[in-house]
Amino acid sequence: MTKVLISDKLSKSAVDVFKKNKIETSYQPGISKDEILKIIHDYDGLAIRSATKVTSDILEHAKNLKVVGRAGIGTDNIDKLAATKNGIIVMNTPFGNAVTTAEHAIALMMSLVRMIPQADHSTRQGKWEKSKFNGTEITGKYLGLIGCGNIGSIVANRALGLKMKVMAFDPFLTQEKASELSVEKVDLDTLLKNADIISLHTPLTEETKNIISSDALNKMKKGARIINCARGGLVDEVACRAALETGHLAGAAFDVFVEEPAKENILFDAPNFIATPHLGAATLEAQENVAIQIAEQMSDYLNTGAVVNALNYPNVTSKEAPILKPYVSLAYLMGSFLGQVTQEGILSIKLELEGKASNIKDLPLMASALVGILEPSSVSVNNINSSSVASSRGISLSTIKHERRCDYETLLKITIKHEKGERTISGTLIAGNKPRIINIQGIPIESDFPKSALYLRNYDKPGFIGDLGNVLGRQNINIASFHLGRRSIGGEAIALVEVDEDINEKIIHEIRALPQVARVNPINFEQN
């Protein structure tokens, strides 16, 4: 039975979703890393929030693990490279707490410009310091968004409702989308120089780490304010403290910090600074939403192969998954053929799709084909990491979709260029789901993918079939099926011979010695 471990505190609704999908669930919030290491090999899925650190050693122990699901958007606590290496899908729920986090950013902004926490503290001490807490209106002010994705776009919408003007820096934001959101798309320097308030809504990456550096702070207008509800590390905390002390920054409000839980921080006693303990997603609605969403996503993947909100694999809907499945299998088998007959260094791989195949997602097919091609020379290749393995070897990848009629209802063709030339294979699906070879090296040949076979390239001369039969007969090797193809009479020909027994090197040597044979390879096809 499929099993999922929940190692962080999630709404019990998640357990109900797994149960409804007939997935056995072990709810163990707060379980230690050592305990996880002992039991993780028993589970197909791991559902977490931010407390569990999914490290490389956990993933190495997780021999049956297929998916790690993060109830929330941030995945800094998951070693995604190790997950990819081990063929494990990493999912998150980028939409489940977007509204809640955006609302928290707006709440911090209002608190900051009106100094509400400080005024509250002063008033409850009986001081009544009205003149000390003169605030600033936000109407007509410029809000600068660094990141304008799911959360940033909601912040923009709320800010526009408050009659602010909004500009955004986001390399992935198109001009069309910016116009749709009614925000001004700008470069980072323009945003820094003109924004009255800057709110960060971007992941923490090598490119975004300390994106608000001392240099960036110096470019900001005097009296500007910063909101960070995204990730600790986006703002240089030491430089921010200095800017608050000099008054260059009028204020800052952070929900996230470089070190969490933040029991101590250089910003805590800085002037005009507001801190909250990573509350961005901390509403009942958000926690319920992300728990249900991650359970549904993981259940769909484990039960149907549907992939939603994955960070290391193309998304595949539950409707697409059954359609893709036979194509993925066909691509793997075709790749397996090429991988087994190619000893030369591979330079490039091209996948071509025709007929019905041109209307489906190509990335899962390429990933599966790469597994077949790379398996003979790579022990640890899988559908999740095959593209990165190919890239690490300098292999260029390309896909072409031909929107044209072909001789078959659907067609896949894979071409590999290697150091001495190129090899091709074409395949189709018979009756919608039965994989079949239809062409090798430009030579028509009809064959399924037999478990054990011989692939031969030979000269089309009389006596070849008899000579081959004699060699196999002497070794008590039974021929199950024989598929032939040729370019022209007396010219180059190919054969795919299905046999009932394994072929050893001695038999290969005898076949290779036949005068009509140009090459011979033992081939084994296993369904992926």
Separation of alpha carbons 461 and 484, rounded Å: 13
The string of pLDDT tens digits covering residues 400-456 is: 998 777 778 999 999 999 988 999 999 999 988 899 999 999 999 999 999 999 999
Annotated active-site residue in 49, 231, 241, 423:
231
Sequence-distant (6+) residues with CB within 8 A of 440 are 337, 424, 425, 426, 455, 485, 494, 496
Annotated active-site residue in 129, 137, 260, 419:
260
- Fold held by 319-448: 60s Ribosomal Protein L30; Chain: A; (3.30.1330)
231 part of the active site: yes
418 part of the active site: no
Q: Tell me if domain 319-448 and domain 450-528 are identical in fold.
A: no
Annotated active-site residue in 158, 225, 278, 423:
278
Architecture of domain 98-275 in CATH?
A: 3-Layer(aba) Sandwich (3.40)
Separation of alpha carbons 30 and 224, rounded Å: 41
In the prediction, which pLDDT does 63 show?
A: 93
In the prediction, which pLDDT does 379 show?
A: 61
In the prediction, which pLDDT does 279 show?
A: 94
Q: Are 397 and 344 a contacting pair, CB within 8 Å?
A: no
Sequence-distant (6+) residues with CB within 8 A of 462 are none
Separation of alpha carbons 59 and 88, rounded Å: 8
The full DSSP string for 491-520 is SEEEEEEEESS---HHHHHHHHTSTTEEEE
Which of these ranges, 82-96, 297-311, 320-334, 456-470, has the smallest mean pLDDT?
Answer: 456-470
In the prediction, which pLDDT does 527 show?
A: 63
The string of pLDDT tens digits covering residues 361-411 is: 999 999 999 999 998 876 678 999 999 889 888 999 999 998 777 778 999
The string of pLDDT tens digits covering residues 35-52 is: 999 999 999 999 999 899
480: number of Cβ within 10 Å? 13
pLDDT for 528 beyond 80: no
Helix (H) or strand (E) segment spanning residue 165: strand 165-169
121 part of the active site: no
Residue with tokens 């002037």: 271
Separation of alpha carbons 441 and 435, rounded Å: 18
The string of pLDDT tens digits covering residues 219-272 is: 999 999 999 999 999 999 999 999 999 999 999 999 999 999 999 999 999 999
Which tops the pLDDT comparison, 283 or 460? 283
Looking at this protein, which amino acid is placed at residue 61?
H
3 state SS of 288: helix
Tell me what percent of the residues of the chain surpass a pLDDT of 90: 75
Residue 147: which pLDDT band, with cuts at 50, 70 and 90? very high
**The domain 450-528 is classified under which CATH number: 3.30.70.260, 3.40.630.30, 3.90.180.10, 3.40.640.10?**
3.30.70.260
Separation of alpha carbons 388 and 54, rounded Å: 21
Separation of alpha carbons 104 and 108, rounded Å: 6
Separation of alpha carbons 67 and 198, rounded Å: 36
Helix (H) or strand (E) segment spanning residue 124: helix 116-124
397: number of Cβ within 10 Å? 17
3 state SS of 457: strand
- Of 255, 253, 248, nearest to 226 by C-alpha is 253
pTM: 0.75
**The domain 3-95+285-304 is classified under which CATH number: 3.90.950.10, 3.60.15.10, 2.40.128.20, 3.40.50.720?**
3.40.50.720
Give the start-to-end residue ranges of the domains of the chain.
3-95+285-304, 98-275, 319-448, 450-528
